[in-house]
Structure 1
Amino acid sequence: MFDRILLPVDGSAASARAREYALLLAEAYGGEIHALAVLDSSDVPENVDAAVVEDPIDTDVRQTANEAIASVIEASEQAGVSVIDSIRRGTPVEEILAYATENEIDLVVLGAHTPGRLARFLRDSIVEQVIQQSPVPVWSVREGEDQEPVRIQQILVATDGSEGARRASEYAFDLGSTFDASVRGLYVVESRFGSAGSLHTLLSREGERILRELRAGGAQAGIDVTPTTREGQPANEILSAASDCNADLIVLGTQGKTGLDRLVMGSVATSVVRHADRPVLTVREFVEERPSE
């Protein structure tokens, strides 16, 4: 499932944490890591000579990129994981997405942090744009996350019955099987529709049906899914449920730039990623097929 894992790095603590998850996944799936550093063209002058750097800011950018790449190479060698490294110059979002497409990447693992040093490009806004546009799943890790050893023992998958949620559940099941992790399915009845009445009853029944389908899909994959229904604002309830069950990973679908009426629409996924204190795996509803060789 994850043969080629793209790990954009920028030398931040969040980036280092993302590296740990990339290594964990690469070891489990027998995959290789593609370490990528991007020299943000909006920060680095285009006319700077790569051999003779006069601008101290550019020196800082390059040094940080080299150190971040070196740390991935060292950790990968220690873990026995193959690594391919690359340093590019350009717009971070465009370079990450282009690299993912050019190298047939299966998963992007990103560390997200608030804006800081110029040399660090994986700011919140950039990570969110990658999630919205990436043709492959994105595993995001936020700065300040609990620094216990990385693990995947409890997975929470949010669902609304959409195609994006269905695809996300497939990843949750595969991860559950690979890491022998427990999987909990969550359906949220949105509080904006009220706490009683015919519409509330309809939505509740719909949630029961969707969770039954989720359990059936899990059973086919050899996973016993624990169903959970909550009421409230979707993003808040997803985060709360993840905390209550001590989830090591939140998995949810996203419709990216389109879709206005689904639980897993872009705004909910963005809110979850922005406020989660644990990794979030987002899976796009529509994925462009790779051209045949």
Structure 2
Amino acid sequence: MKILLATDGSSHAQAAESLLTSLPVPSDSELCLVAVVEAPTWQSDVASEHAALREELAGYRREVEERLEREVERLKSRFGRVSGVVLSGNVVEQICQLATDRQADLIVAGARGGSKIRRWLLGGTSDRLARHAPCDVLVVRPRDDSAEPARGLKRVLVAIDGSASSRGAVERLASLPLGEECEVIVFQVLAVVRSFRMDIVEQSGDLWEAERRQAHDDLNWAADRLRPVTPHVRTVLHEAEYVADEILTVAEEHRADLIVVGHQGRSRVSQFLLGSVSSAVLRHAESSVWVVRTEDADVS
């Protein structure tokens, strides 16, 4: 498995590293730590100010390189091969290009970071990474704003909807030896369509029952796929008007350490892309979120 860990030295980046080292990924996985020095837009035409800023950036880059060397050494005992790279430019563009060049399987990043030059928040870097990355993206959010998440995964919520993308999310989770201490909740939401005319709802009764039967089949399939990697699997089916809100509510109620979602899904009425359900979960979840990108689903 080829993994990119985006790091900027912030507490959330440290939490991302901690969660990554506790994930049951193959021990021979290749890990590349990447830090991006993103220069601000020039605000002055004065040559001396440009020179001062270039000097500041050069000093900052040296600090980043030294920090990255220490992090690489620290992680060598956990992964088969560890390297580090410092890039310059737009954070999202540079990380996505590196992921493409190295054929990465997973990008791991903190939900919030910070640097001496520019602060980047979830609504910016991590959200755009999930939209544009060529592979899975795991966005790590430490609980209660602490630097360290709980060691290992105790409770995982995988949200499905019967789409190829959500089936891919289940398969990805099933590829990890989660262990007996991990509980997986397979969750599906049947979107309730609020119509102006109640007779439309009544006329769709047979269709609704068919949707419920299909949802139960999807849940049972997912549970069967996951039981070989952990004996603690249960299924939950809810009906709700707002899918993302329901996913977030259930994740909070069960204190999920991780939410796993496909990058693209479908509802009863129409296709929904990362910009709606998955994006809302990514932005507002209290826990970490793994967005799984599958080859057989269209890229948003």
TM-score w.r.t. length of structure 2: 0.78
Q: Is the 8 A contact 2:33 2:68 kept in 1?
A: yes
Q: Write the distance in 1 (CA, Å) between the matches of 2:244 and 2:79.
A: 38
- The size of the alignment, in residue pairs, is 275
Q: Which residue number corresponds to residue 179 of structure 1?
A: 179
Q: Is the 8 A contact 1:64 1:119 kept in 2?
A: no
Q: Write the distance in 2 (CA, Å) between the matches of 1:60 and 1:44.
A: 18
Question: Could you tell me which amino acid in structure 2 is paired with residue 14 of structure 1?
Answer: H
Where structure 2 has 5 or more consecutive residues not aligned to the other structure, the ranges are: 44-50
Q: Which residue number corresponds to residue 72 of structure 1?
A: 71
Q: Which residue number corresponds to residue 139 of structure 1?
A: 138
| Residue 274 in structure 1 maps to residue 283 in structure 2 | yes
Question: Could you tell me which amino acid in structure 2 is paired with residue 274 of structure 1?
Answer: R
Q: Which moved more, 1:210-219 or 1:193-202?
A: 193-202
Q: Write the distance in 2 (CA, Å) between the matches of 1:200 and 1:66.
A: 62
- Large movers: runs of 4+ above 6 Å: none
| Residue 226 in structure 1 maps to residue 234 in structure 2 | yes
User: Per-residue deviation at 1:125?
Assistant: 1.1
Q: Which residue number corresponds to residue 48 of structure 2?
A: none
Q: Secondary structure at the match of 1:241?
A: helix
Output aligned runs, 1:109-258, within 5 Å: 109-113=108-112, 117-121=116-120, 123-142=122-141, 145=145, 147-175=148-176, 177-180=177-180, 181-193=182-194, 197-199=202-204, 202-203=207-208, 205-220=210-225, 222-223=227-228, 225-230=233-238, 231-255=240-264
Residues 264 and 206 of structure 1: is their aligned pair in 2 closer, same or farther, counting only changes over 3 Å? farther
Question: Could you tell me which amino acid in structure 1 is paired with residue 189 of structure 2?
Answer: V
Q: Secondary structure at the match of 2:61?
A: helix
| Residue 103 in structure 1 maps to residue 111 in structure 2 | no
Q: Which residue number corresponds to residue 291 of structure 1?
A: none
Identity between Structure 1 and Structure 2 (%): 26
Question: Could you tell me which amino acid in structure 2 is paired with residue 252 of structure 1?
Answer: V
Q: Which moved more, 1:263-272 or 1:55-64?
A: 55-64
Q: Secondary structure at the match of 1:164?
A: helix
Q: Which protein has the larger Cα radius of gyration, Structure 1 or Structure 2?
A: 2
| Residue 40 in structure 1 maps to residue 38 in structure 2 | yes
User: Per-residue deviation at 1:193?
Assistant: 3.0
Q: Secondary structure at the match of 1:193?
A: coil
User: Per-residue deviation at 1:58?
Assistant: 1.2
Where structure 1 has 5 or more consecutive residues not aligned to the other structure, the ranges are: 46-52, 289-293
Residues 39 and 264 of structure 1: is their aligned pair in 2 closer, same or farther, counting only changes over 3 Å? same
| Residue 31 in structure 1 maps to residue 29 in structure 2 | yes
Q: Write the distance in 2 (CA, Å) between the matches of 1:93 and 1:287.
A: 24
Q: Is the 8 A contact 1:38 1:90 kept in 2?
A: yes
User: Per-residue deviation at 1:139?
Assistant: 0.5
Residues 124 and 179 of structure 1: is their aligned pair in 2 closer, same or farther, counting only changes over 3 Å? farther
User: Per-residue deviation at 1:167?
Assistant: 0.6
Residues 28 and 188 of structure 1: is their aligned pair in 2 closer, same or farther, counting only changes over 3 Å? same
Q: Secondary structure at the match of 2:286?
A: coil
Residues 185 and 220 of structure 1: is their aligned pair in 2 closer, same or farther, counting only changes over 3 Å? closer
| Residue 21 in structure 1 maps to residue 22 in structure 2 | no
